[in-house]
């Protein structure tokens, strides 16, 4: 098979898995167990020296980082499926939101989780940093809510894998029980994203 997808459960690889499902791209899935150190094994480090998932290999080209993967898959498979903008202004909009998700929102989420979640040792947590991260998440959600006012989806008038990508992050925030009551446009958009057949298929476990 021309595309190989390396992933681990309960990781940001879930974003790529949903993007692949949305695009209907067949792939060979290689599951790695982070707890057993499989992402740090020499065989995988030869593919991704960062030792992280997700990672895809397409016709021998290795792409890591979920944002880069979403944009690559969108450009390669999404344009003809009307799930990613063609080259032009809307492509710039798409890239902006994908990168914003991982960099601006992602940094705030990382600082919040690293300093508040149970899976990190208490002696490594900083309460002030955790609270600052939470406040920045709120600022990001306000930006997103303002952008979505009067819009059905993030880019243009139709759903794209940009929505897939960002909604996956929003789903994670909901899982962490963050309060979304102040963001009605985000909530309405998220509900539309979650009605997608690809989303329902993966959430039901059919795509595993």
> Rounded to 5, what percent of the chain is helix, strand, coil?
55, 10, 35
Of the three residues 25, 49, 82, the one that is the final residue of a domain is 82
* CATH code of 96's domain: 1.20.1050.10
Where is 7: in which H helix or E strand? Answer: strand 3-7
Strand partners, 71: none
Strand partners, 6: 30, 55
**CA angle, corner 42, sides to 62 and 6, nearest 5?**
40
Where is 201: in which H helix or E strand? Answer: helix 197-203
pLDDT value at 48 more than 80: yes
Instruction: Please tell me whether residues 95 and 166 are part of one structural domain.
Output: yes
Instruction: Please tell me whether residues 126 and 60 are part of one structural domain.
Output: no
Residue 142 lies in a domain: yes
Range 138-142 average pLDDT: 98
> Which of 156-172 are b and which e, b meaning 16 or more Cβ less than 10 Å from the residue's Cβ?
beebbbbbbbbbbbbbb
Of the three residues 58, 82, 106, the one that is the final residue of a domain is 82
Which pLDDT belongs to residue 39?
97
pLDDT value at 208 more than 60: no
Distance of CA 1 to the CA centre of its chain: 24
Q: What is the pLDDT of residues 82-135, one digit of tens each?
A: 999 999 999 999 999 999 999 999 999 999 888 887 777 777 788 898 899 999
37 close to 90: Cβ distance less than 8 angstroms: no
Instruction: Please tell me whether residues 147 and 103 are part of one structural domain.
Output: yes
Residue 206 lies in a domain: no
Instruction: Please tell me whether residues 70 and 96 are part of one structural domain.
Output: no
Residue 176 lies in a domain: yes
Helix (H, G, I), strand (E, B) or coil at 29: strand
162 close to 98: Cβ distance less than 8 angstroms: yes
Range 141-152 average pLDDT: 98
Q: What band does 1 get if pLDDT is binned at 50, 70 and 90?
A: low
Contacts of 156 (CB under 8 A, 6+ apart): 85, 90, 93
Range 200-204 average pLDDT: 91
Instruction: Please tell me whether residues 112 and 182 are part of one structural domain.
Output: yes
Residue 205 lies in a domain: no
Instruction: Please tell me whether residues 93 and 78 are part of one structural domain.
Output: no
Name the average pLDDT for the chain.
Answer: 94
Q: Residue 58 sits in which domain range?
A: 3-82
Percent of the chain topping pLDDT 90? 85
Give the number of other Cβ atoms within 10 Å of residue 139's Cβ: 12
Residue 131 lies in a domain: yes
Which pLDDT belongs to residue 53?
98
Q: What band does 207 get if pLDDT is binned at 50, 70 and 90?
A: low
Which pLDDT belongs to residue 123?
74
Q: What is the pLDDT of residues 166-194, one digit of tens each?
A: 999 999 999 888 999 999 999 999 999 99
Distance CA 186, CA 208 (A): 28
Residue 207 lies in a domain: no
Helix (H, G, I), strand (E, B) or coil at 88: coil
* CATH code of 21's domain: 3.40.30.10
Instruction: Please tell me whether residues 95 and 61 are part of one structural domain.
Output: no
The domain total for the chain is 2
Residue 19 lies in a domain: yes
Instruction: Please tell me whether residues 118 and 187 are part of one structural domain.
Output: yes
């Amino acid at each position: 098979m021309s595309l190989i997808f390396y992933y681990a459960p309960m990781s940001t690889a879930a974003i790529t898995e949903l993007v692949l499902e949305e695009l209907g791209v067949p792939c060979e899935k290689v599951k790695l167990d982070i707890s057993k150190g499989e992402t740090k094994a020499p065989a995988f480090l030869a593919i991704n020296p960062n030792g992280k998932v997700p990672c895809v290999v397409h016709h021998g080209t290795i792409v890591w980082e979920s944002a880069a993967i979403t944009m690559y898959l969108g450009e390669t498979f999404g344009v003809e499926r009307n799930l990613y903008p063609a080259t032009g202004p809307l492509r710039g909009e798409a890239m902006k939101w994908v990168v914003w998700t991982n960099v601006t929102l992602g940094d705030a989420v990382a600082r919040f989780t690293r300093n508040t979640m149970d899976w990190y040792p208490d002696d490594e947590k900083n309460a002030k940093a955790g609270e600052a991260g939470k406040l920045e998440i709120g600022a990001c959600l306000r930006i997103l809510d303002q952008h979505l006012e009067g819009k059905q989806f993030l880019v243009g008038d139709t759903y794209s894998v940009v929505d897939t990508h960002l909604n996956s992050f929003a789903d994670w925030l909901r899982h962490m029980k963050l309060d979304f009551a102040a963001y009605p446009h985000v909530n309405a958009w998220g509900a539309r994203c979650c009605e997608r057949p690809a989303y329902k298929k993966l959430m039901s476990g059919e795509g595993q």
